[in-house]
Amino acid sequence: MKRRGSLAVRITLVCLAVAGVAVIVAGLVASRLVRTTATDVLRQSLASQADVLASQLDETGIGARLGLTKVANVVRGQGISVIVERAGGKQTGGDAVSTRAAVKAGLVRLSPLASTVEVNGQQFLVQIRPVGTDGAGFALVQPVQTGNGTQRLLVRNILYALGIGLLVAALAGFVLGRLLARPLRRAASVASSMRAGRRDLRVPVEGPAEVAEVAISVNELADALNQSEARQREFLLSVSHELRTPLTAVNGFAEAVADGVVTGDAARQAGQTIQRESLRLERLVSDLLELARLGADEFRLDFAELDLNALVRDCAEVWALRCTREGVTLRSEVPALPVRVVADPRRLRQVLDGLAENALRITPAGAPMVLSLATAGETAVVSVRDGGPGLAPEDYPVAFERGVLNAKYRGSRPVGSGIGLALAHALVTRMGGTLDAGPAPEGGAAFHVRLPLHP
């Protein structure tokens, strides 16, 4: 059997995967935002320092070398270069790269300017301020990479936070998986016990709606199995009783013939009894086999177009003699026009014969039995009705379950094997029709075979 991962592990992995994707996306977005924000902060800081320096130089003049040198030393400690544009157009201060960046940004024009320029593959922030009215000014130049250390620190802290979130997601997924898997494990344990034969266990209905539905389904399955097995036991008891009666008769008469107890006409009668009971046994065993084959989908049906009018008439002719012998009045109600359906003629006749035999068995002398055929819309309805005692209202819905009627009425009226109605229902269903039961106008029970009409 293939080993499968547990639900808790799968939920944990899913939570980790979702959290991992969220962490990667958040990290990429945060990294981009950190870089952009750090550059903006660096630019604003550089602009503020340029404004302060410009206000001081406006008071002392660009030629105050001592003040300019002090300012240059202060900002240089922050990685900022001061490039001075004197009145004669000469740039002083800073290295060649910084000077080139300032000139590229527009230092010679001496108009207030904030710019980002690239020199030798490196980006620089440039803030230009004019000083006085004699064509002098300065530029503050700072490499963008100066803020990389701060950026790395921020990104590292963000990654720490995202990592903690990933760990929390893993723990939450594991706990959630365990909570969800616990009732499912209980349901699996109860199902295993049911497989071993126990029917007294039930699953607690708890957890989310979907998990609770699983528990309810397992409990309903246990109830259904319990009820089904109880009916099977009753059915087996009924079948064993039906088998024991003819077997006892066959065995008793056979011993009497073998021992010479009966001779002459008595022996002939004993032989007839043995033959009659053996036929009854054969019919019972045949019904059991056919019902088993129907349940296993190994039953073959030979479909053909047929006229129900002719089929019902033939059936009525055969049963008229038997009804006369029992003092029962058989009435046949069929339309004049053909009623065509597609079915297995032999099996459909078997169904009608079985229903007729059941009806005749419980119909008292002088009461009627009816074979009728009618159409209702696109459906043909063949009915077998009797004037017997009928069934209790609660028995009609379960009339086609094996052995139910046999078990209930065995001690109060003549009953069959308990298989015939179940077999008839299965046959009609396999032929695409339905078989239902209800009270009859004659006072007994009515069984209706419904088949779709052939176009």
pLDDT number for residue 6: 61
Out of 261, 277, 295, pick the residue that ends a domain. 295
Please, which residues bridge with residue 124 across strands? 117, 143
Q: Is the residue at 183 inside a domain?
A: no
Mind giving me the DSSP string for 66-130?
HHHHHHHHHHHTTT-EEEEE-TTS-EESS-HHHHHHHHHHTGGGT--EEEEEEETTEEEEEEEEE
C-alpha closest to that of 278 among 251, 250, 252: 250
Domain count, the chain: 3
Q: Is the residue at 236 inside a domain?
A: yes
Please, which residues bridge with residue 375 across strands? 380
The answer to whether residues 244 and 344 belong to one domain is no
CATH of the domain at 238: 1.10.287.130
C-alpha closest to that of 284 among 315, 245, 325: 245
pLDDT number for residue 1: 46
The answer to whether residues 213 and 258 belong to one domain is yes
The answer to whether residues 429 and 383 belong to one domain is yes
pLDDT number for residue 293: 67
Out of 295, 316, 340, pick the residue that ends a domain. 295
Residues sharing a CB contact under 8 Å with residue 130, sequence separation 6 or more, in sequence order: 54, 110, 111, 112, 136, 137
3-state secondary structure of 181: helix
The answer to whether residues 308 and 398 belong to one domain is yes
The answer to whether residues 340 and 439 belong to one domain is yes
Q: Is the residue at 409 inside a domain?
A: yes
> d(Cα 300, Cα 302) in Å, to the nearest integer?
7
pLDDT number for residue 308: 94
Residues sharing a CB contact under 8 Å with residue 184, sequence separation 6 or more, in sequence order: 7, 211, 214
Quick one: DSSP state of residue 147?
G
Give the domain extent around 446. 304-452
Q: Is the residue at 162 inside a domain?
A: no
Q: Is the residue at 204 inside a domain?
A: no
The answer to whether residues 289 and 315 belong to one domain is no
The answer to whether residues 283 and 326 belong to one domain is no
CATH of the domain at 21: 3.30.450
The answer to whether residues 320 and 288 belong to one domain is no
The answer to whether residues 140 and 14 belong to one domain is yes
Out of 150, 184, 201, pick the residue that ends a domain. 150
Taking the whole predicted model, whether its pTM rises above 0.85 is answered as: no
The answer to whether residues 311 and 446 belong to one domain is yes
> d(Cα 124, Cα 79) in Å, to the nearest integer?
11
The answer to whether residues 282 and 394 belong to one domain is no
Q: Collect the ranges in the chain with pLDDT lower than 70.
A: 1-12, 23, 27-28, 30-32, 34-35, 38, 56-78, 87-89, 91-94, 105-113, 132-135, 145-155, 231-232, 234-243, 245, 287-288, 291-299, 417
Amino acid 49 reads Q
Residue 397 CA: distances (Å) to CA of 227, 329, 405, 437? 16, 28, 11, 7
Q: Where are the alpha helices (DSSP H) in 259-307?
A: 265-295
Amino acid 61 reads G
Q: Is the residue at 134 inside a domain?
A: yes
CATH of the domain at 444: 3.30.565.10
Residues sharing a CB contact under 8 Å with residue 334, sequence separation 6 or more, in sequence order: 309, 312, 313, 316, 371, 372, 373
3-state secondary structure of 132: coil
pLDDT number for residue 66: 46
Q: Is the residue at 187 inside a domain?
A: no
Burial of 272 from C-beta contacts in 10 A (0-12 / 13-18 / 19+): exposed
pLDDT number for residue 121: 75
Q: Is the residue at 200 inside a domain?
A: no
Q: Hey, what are 65's tokens? A: 């070398």
The answer to whether residues 272 and 308 belong to one domain is no
